[in-house]
C-alpha cells in the first residue's frame, strides 16, 4: 500500500504570488508561481498557470524520484464544486537542467464546466509508494479571448414521417431478407465446431483482428436474442433454443469456476474452449455478470411460464450455492451486489471508470434478481440485491451534467480524445439496462436530449453523413459510431411504442432540443403534455418512427448486397471494415427488428423468424 506524504506548502509560500510575474501573451495572462525548481524533497510544485480563452494551461515541477508517476490537478468548477470531473491529468513535458526535477504540463479546454479555484496538485510516485501533494487554494481569473460559444443546434436535414415499406421488406421474417440473414449468421457463430458448448465466437475472424474468443458481454447479448426466439418459438424450434440456453448457463458457470481468471467474475474474455484468456487486457469488465444474469433470468422466467420445472431452474440456472458447477445466476447477482461501486472497464474496453452503461445493466440485474430470488424462495439473497439496487439507483443522477445537458458516459476524468463526454454507450445503457420502472427509460428527457446530442455530433465528423437519401430518395439516418445497428432505431422505436402505449407525450425544456431536431413540424413546446389523437402527438410519434426507419435505412444503405454485416463501416467511404460477420452486429439488428415489430403491431414477427427453418 502507498503511504501518503503530504508536502503541504505553508500558505506563506503563496505570498510569492504577490510578486508574480505576469507575462502578456496576446491578452492571455500567465501566472508564474515559482520560477526555479524547488529544493530536493519537495516532490511537486506549481510552476505556471493560465486560464485563457477557456483553456487551462498548467506547468508543474515534478521530482524524478521514480519511473511511474501520476500527476493530478484538482480544481473547482464554475459552481465552486469539486467533482470527479474537475480534475486534470498532467503529462511529462521536459527536464529541468541540472536538477532532479521534470516539468509536467496540461492544456485542457474547461470552459463548459468552468474553473474558479486550483485546489491541489497530487503526485503519486507509484514505484516507491509515495504521494506528494501541494495544496494550492489559488483563485483563477479568466483572461484572453472569450471562451468559445456553444455550437448552435443543428437544423434537421430531413423530416421523415411514419414507417416505410422498404424497411418492412428488408426486415421481413423470411430466409432471404436481411433479418433472415442476420439470424442465420448469428447462429453460425454460436457453438461453432470445436468450441465449448454454449459459447459464442465474437466473429470468425482469426487474424487482424483476432476476434476468435468468447466474450462474456457479446455472448450474453447474443444469447438474449436467442432468448427472444425461445420466448416466441413453437414446437421443435422452442426445444432447439432451450437447449442452447441451458448450454449457455453451463458455460457461464464454467467461466465462474475457472481458477485462472485474473479478476474473478469480472473477467471479460475466454478462449473458445472457455478457459480464461490471461494475456494483458482491460479488466475487470463488470457489466458481463449483470447481462449474463439478465439473459438467464429472462429465460428461466419464460421456461417456468411454459410450465417448466422449478427444480430444473434451481439446479441449472439459479442456485450457485447448491450447484456451483452448473447454476451461475445467484453468484453473478451477488457479485454485482457487492462489487458495483468499483470502477470497471467500459464496453469498448478502453477506460477504467464509473460507467453509466455498466450501472444501468447492473441496476436491471439487481432489480430482476430481487424478484427472481424471492420467487425461488431465497429472501436473504433478495434482500441483498434489493438494497444494492437502491444504493446504486441513488448514484445515477451524478452522470447528468447540467452544463452540458448530457448524460456523461462515465463519471471521472476522461481520455483526452473523448472530452466531449459523448458516447453511444449511454443509449445502449437504456436499451440493455432499462428495468421498465420509469427510471431512465426510453422517454426520459435526459436520455432523449443525450441521444440527440450524441447522434448529431457525428454529422460534422463522418463524411458519409453528407449522403442523406438513398437512390429512391428515401431519408438515411445519421451515421453513428459504434454499433449503429441497434442504437438509434432501437431507442426511437421503443420511445414511440411507449408514447403510444401511455397515450401521452410530455415535453420539458430538457427534451425540447431532441424534439426540435427529430420532430420539428409537430409544433411541440416545453412544459406541455400532448394526448394521443392530438395533431402534435400524432405528428411527433410519426416523426420518431420516420427517423427510426431512416436509421435502419442507413444500415441497409451501407450494407453490401450479400447482406453481411461487419464490425463497422468506414466513416469516409461507407465501406464495411473491421471484423467480418461480427456476431453482435447481427444480434443488434435483430433486437432493433423486434422493437420495430412492437411498433408495427406485428405480433407474429418474432415467432415467424424464430420458427424459420425449424418447424416448416
Ligand X SMILES: *[C@@H]1O[C@H](CO)[C@@H](O)[C@H](O)[C@H]1NC(C)=O
- List active site positions: 346, 349
Cα(291)–Cα(285) distance, integer angstroms: 11
Print the binding letters for residues 521-550 with ligand X: x by CB under 6 A, - otherwise: ------------------------------
Using CB under 6 A as the binding rule, whether residue 281 contacts ligand X is answered as no
Cα(538)–Cα(531) distance, integer angstroms: 9
Asked if 235 contacts 615 with a C-beta cutoff of 8 angstroms, the reply is yes
Q: Which is nearer to ligand X, 203 or 541 (CB)?
A: 203
Q: Which is nearer to ligand X, 273 or 528 (CB)?
A: 273
Who contacts 394 (Cβ-Cβ below 8 Å, separation ≥6)? Answer: none
At its nearest, how many Å lie between ligand X and the CB of residue 159?
38
Q: Which is nearer to ligand X, 46 or 448 (CB)?
A: 46
For 205, the grid coordinates are: 475472424
Helix (H, G, I), strand (E, B) or coil at 120: strand
Q: Which is nearer to ligand X, 6 or 575 (CB)?
A: 6
| Rounded alpha-carbon distances, angstroms, from residue 141 to 31, 53, 138, 170, 274 | 10, 11, 10, 58, 57
Cα(84)–Cα(87) distance, integer angstroms: 6
| Rounded alpha-carbon distances, angstroms, from residue 191 to 194, 214, 291, 328, 345 | 8, 10, 19, 19, 27
Using CB under 6 A as the binding rule, whether residue 6 contacts ligand X is answered as yes
Other Cβ atoms closer than 10 A to 520: 15
Q: Which helix (H) or strand (E) holds 506?
A: strand 504-506
Q: Which is nearer to ligand X, 57 or 469 (CB)?
A: 57
Q: In whole angstroms, what separates CA 422 from the centre of its chain?
A: 10
Asked if 248 contacts 230 with a C-beta cutoff of 8 angstroms, the reply is no
Using CB under 6 A as the binding rule, whether residue 184 contacts ligand X is answered as yes
Binding segment (CB under 6 A) for ligand X, from list 23-31, 432-440, 543-551, 572-580: 23-31
Q: Which is nearer to ligand X, 139 or 159 (CB)?
A: 139
Using CB under 6 A as the binding rule, whether residue 175 contacts ligand X is answered as yes
Using CB under 6 A as the binding rule, whether residue 84 contacts ligand X is answered as no
Per rule CB under 6 A, count of chain residues that contact ligand X? 35
Choose which of 85, 190, 203, 334 interacts with ligand X (CB under 6 A).
Answer: 334
Print the binding letters for residues 40-79 with ligand X: x by CB under 6 A, - otherwise: ----------x-x--x-x----------------x----x
Where are the extended beta strands (E) located within 241-306? 269-270
Choose which of 17, 20, 65, 82 interacts with ligand X (CB under 6 A).
Answer: 82
- Within residues 338-377, the interface with ligand X by CB under 6 A covers 338-339, 342
Who contacts 375 (Cβ-Cβ below 8 Å, separation ≥6)? Answer: none
| Rounded alpha-carbon distances, angstroms, from residue 603 to 385, 594, 609 | 34, 10, 12
For 158, the grid coordinates are: 430531413
Other Cβ atoms closer than 10 A to 449: 24
For 354, the grid coordinates are: 464509473
Cα(615)–Cα(40) distance, integer angstroms: 79
Using CB under 6 A as the binding rule, whether residue 487 contacts ligand X is answered as no
At its nearest, how many Å lie between ligand X and the CB of residue 57?
4
Using CB under 6 A as the binding rule, whether residue 320 contacts ligand X is answered as no
Q: Which is nearer to ligand X, 226 or 550 (CB)?
A: 226
Who contacts 135 (Cβ-Cβ below 8 Å, separation ≥6)? Answer: 8, 9, 119, 120
Cα(362)–Cα(388) distance, integer angstroms: 10
Q: Which is nearer to ligand X, 251 or 446 (CB)?
A: 251
Binding segment (CB under 6 A) for ligand X, from list 25-33, 254-262, 455-463, 473-481: 25-33
Cα(91)–Cα(69) distance, integer angstroms: 9
Q: Which is nearer to ligand X, 14 or 271 (CB)?
A: 271
DSSP for residue 159: -
Q: Which is nearer to ligand X, 52 or 474 (CB)?
A: 52
Choose which of 311, 562, 572, 616 interacts with ligand X (CB under 6 A).
Answer: 616
Other Cβ atoms closer than 10 A to 601: 9
Other Cβ atoms closer than 10 A to 613: 14
Using CB under 6 A as the binding rule, whether residue 412 contacts ligand X is answered as no
Using CB under 6 A as the binding rule, whether residue 25 contacts ligand X is answered as yes
At its nearest, how many Å lie between ligand X and the CB of residue 6?
5
Cα(574)–Cα(10) distance, integer angstroms: 59
At its nearest, how many Å lie between ligand X and the CB of residue 347?
20
- Within residues 215-254, the interface with ligand X by CB under 6 A covers 243, 247
DSSP for residue 190: B
At its nearest, how many Å lie between ligand X and the CB of residue 315?
15
At its nearest, how many Å lie between ligand X and the CB of residue 118?
10
Q: Which is nearer to ligand X, 17 or 271 (CB)?
A: 271
Print the binding letters for residues 189-208 with ligand X: x by CB under 6 A, - otherwise: --------x-----------
Cβ-proximal residue to ligand X, closest one: 613
Using CB under 6 A as the binding rule, whether residue 81 contacts ligand X is answered as no
Choose which of 80, 98, 207, 561 interacts with ligand X (CB under 6 A).
Answer: 80
Using CB under 6 A as the binding rule, whether residue 613 contacts ligand X is answered as yes
> Nearest to residue 237, comparing CAs of 187, 202, 195, 198?
187
| Rounded alpha-carbon distances, angstroms, from residue 155 to 151, 405, 510, 514, 515 | 12, 18, 17, 11, 12
- Within residues 107-126, the interface with ligand X by CB under 6 A covers 107, 116, 119-120, 122
Number of alpha carbons in the 13 Å side-chain half-sphere of residue 339: 21
At its nearest, how many Å lie between ligand X and the CB of residue 166?
22
Binding segment (CB under 6 A) for ligand X, from list 13-21, 224-232, 271-279, 592-600: 271-279
Residue 568 has φ and ψ, to the nearest 5°, of -160, 170
Cα(555)–Cα(551) distance, integer angstroms: 7
> Nearest to residue 361, comparing CAs of 373, 369, 352, 372?
369
At its nearest, how many Å lie between ligand X and the CB of residue 263?
10
At its nearest, how many Å lie between ligand X and the CB of residue 272?
7
Query: Can you tell me which residue has the cell 439496462?
Result: 433
Using CB under 6 A as the binding rule, whether residue 133 contacts ligand X is answered as yes
Using CB under 6 A as the binding rule, whether residue 335 contacts ligand X is answered as yes
At its nearest, how many Å lie between ligand X and the CB of residue 572?
28
At its nearest, how many Å lie between ligand X and the CB of residue 342?
6
**Interacting residue ranges for ligand X, rule: CB under 6 A:** 6, 25, 28, 30, 50, 52, 55, 57, 74, 79-80, 82, 107, 116, 119-120, 122, 133, 135, 175, 184, 197, 243, 247, 271, 273, 275, 334-335, 338-339, 342, 612-613, 616
Amino acid at each position: 500500500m502507498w503511504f501518503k506524504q503530504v508536502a503541504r506548502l505553508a500558505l506563506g509560500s503563496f505570498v510569492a504570488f504577490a510578486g508574480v510575474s505576469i507575462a502578456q501573451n496576446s491578452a492571455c495572462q500567465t501566472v508564474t508561481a515559482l520560477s526555479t525548481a524547488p529544493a530536493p524533497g519537495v516532490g511537486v510544485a506549481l510552476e505556471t498557470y493560465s486560464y485563457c480563452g477557456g483553456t487551462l494551461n498548467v506547468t508543474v515541477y515534478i521530482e524524478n524520484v521514480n519511473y511511474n508517476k501520476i500527476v493530478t490537478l484538482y480544481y473547482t468548477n464554475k459552481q465552486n464544486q469539486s467533482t470527479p470531473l474537475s480534475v486534470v491529468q498532467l503529462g511529462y513535458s521536459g527536464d529541468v537542467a541540472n536538477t532532479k526535477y521534470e516539468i509536467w504540463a496540461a492544456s485542457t479546454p474547461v470552459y463548459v464546466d468552468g474553473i474558479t479555484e486550483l485546489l491541489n496538485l497530487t503526485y503519486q510516485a507509484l514505484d516507491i509508494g509515495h504521494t506528494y501533494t501541494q495544496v494550492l487554494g489559488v483563485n483563477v481569473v479568466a483572461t484572453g479571448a472569450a471562451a468559445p460559444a456553444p455550437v448552435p443546434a443543428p437544423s434537421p436535414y430531413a423530416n421523415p414521417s411514419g414507417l416505410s415499406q422498404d424497411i418492412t421488406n428488408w426486415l421481413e421474417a423470411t430466409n432471404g431478407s436481411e433479418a433472415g440473414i442476420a439470424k442465420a449468421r448469428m447462429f453460425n457463430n454460436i457453438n461453432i465446431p470445436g468450441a465449448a458448448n454454449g459459447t459464442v465466437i465474437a466473429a470468425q475472424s482469426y487474424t487482424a483482428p483476432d476476434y476468435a474468443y468468447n466474450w462474456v458481454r457479446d455472448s450474453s447479448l447474443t444469447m438474449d436474442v436467442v432468448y427472444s426466439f425461445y420466448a416466441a418459438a413453437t414446437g421443435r424450434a422452442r426445444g432447439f433454443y432451450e437447449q442452447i440456453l441451458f448450454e449457455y448457463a453451463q458455460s457461464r458457470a464454467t467461466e465462474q469456476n475457472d481458477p485462472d481468471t485474473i479478476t474473478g467474475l469480472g473477467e471479460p474474455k475466454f478462449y473458445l474452449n472457455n478457459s480464461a484468456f490471461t494475456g494483458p487486457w482491460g479488466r475487470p469488465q463488470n457489466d458481463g455478470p449483470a447481462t449474463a444474469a439478465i439473459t438467464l433470468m429472462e429465460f428461466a422466467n419464460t421456461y417456468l411460464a411454459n410450465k417448466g420445472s422449478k427444480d430444473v431452474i434451481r439446479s441449472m440456472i439459479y442456485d450457485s450455492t447448491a450447484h456451483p458447477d452448473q447454476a451461475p445466476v445467484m453468484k453473478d447477482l451477488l457479485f454485482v451486489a457487492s462489487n458495483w461501486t468499483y470502477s470497471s472497464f467500459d464496453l469498448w474496453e478502453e477506460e477504467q471508470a464509473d460507467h453509466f452503461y455498466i450501472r444501468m445493466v447492473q441496476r436491471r440485474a439487481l432489480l430482476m434478481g430481487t424478484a427472481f430470488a424471492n420467487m425461488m424462495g431465497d429472501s436473504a439473497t433478495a434482500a441483498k440485491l434489493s438494497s444494492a439496487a437502491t444504493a446504486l439507483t441513488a448514484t445515477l443522477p451524478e452522470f447528468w451534467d447540467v452544463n452540458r445537458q448530457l448524460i456523461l458516459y462515465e463519471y471521472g476524468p476522461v481520455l483526452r480524445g473523448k472530452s466531449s463526454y459523448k458516447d453511444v454507450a449511454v443509449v445502449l445503457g437504456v436499451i440493455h439496462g432499462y428495468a421498465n420502472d420509469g427510471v431512465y427509460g426510453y422517454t426520459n428527457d435526459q436520455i432523449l436530449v443525450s441521444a440527440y446530442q450524441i447522434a448529431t455530433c457525428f454529422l460534422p465528423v463522418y463524411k458519409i453523413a453528407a449522403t442523406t437519401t438513398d437512390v429512391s430518395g428515401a431519408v438515411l439516418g445519421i451515421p453513428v459510431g459504434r454499433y449503429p445497428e441497434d442504437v438509434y432505431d432501437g431507442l426511437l422505436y421503443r420511445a414511440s411504442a411507449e408514447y403510444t402505449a401511455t397515450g401521452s407525450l410530455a415535453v420539458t425544456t430538457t427534451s425540447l432540443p431532441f424534439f426540435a431536431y427529430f420532430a420539428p413540424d409537430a409544433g411541440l413546446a416545453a412544459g406541455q403534455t400532448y394526448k394521443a389523437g392530438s395533431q402534435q402527438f400524432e405528428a411527433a410519434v410519426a416523426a420518431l418512427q420516420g427517423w427510426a426507419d431512416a436509421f435502419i435505412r442507413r444500415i441497409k444503405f451501407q450494407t453490401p448486397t450479400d447482406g453481411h454485416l461487419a464490425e463497422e463501416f468506414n466513416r469516409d467511404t461507407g465501406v464495411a471494415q473491421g471484423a467480418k460477420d461480427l456476431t453482435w452486429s447481427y444480434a443488434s439488428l435483430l433486437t432493433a427488428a423486434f422493437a420495430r415489430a412492437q411498433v408495427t403491431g406485428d405480433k407474429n414477427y418474432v415467432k415467424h423468424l424464430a420458427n424459420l427453418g425449424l418447424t416448416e
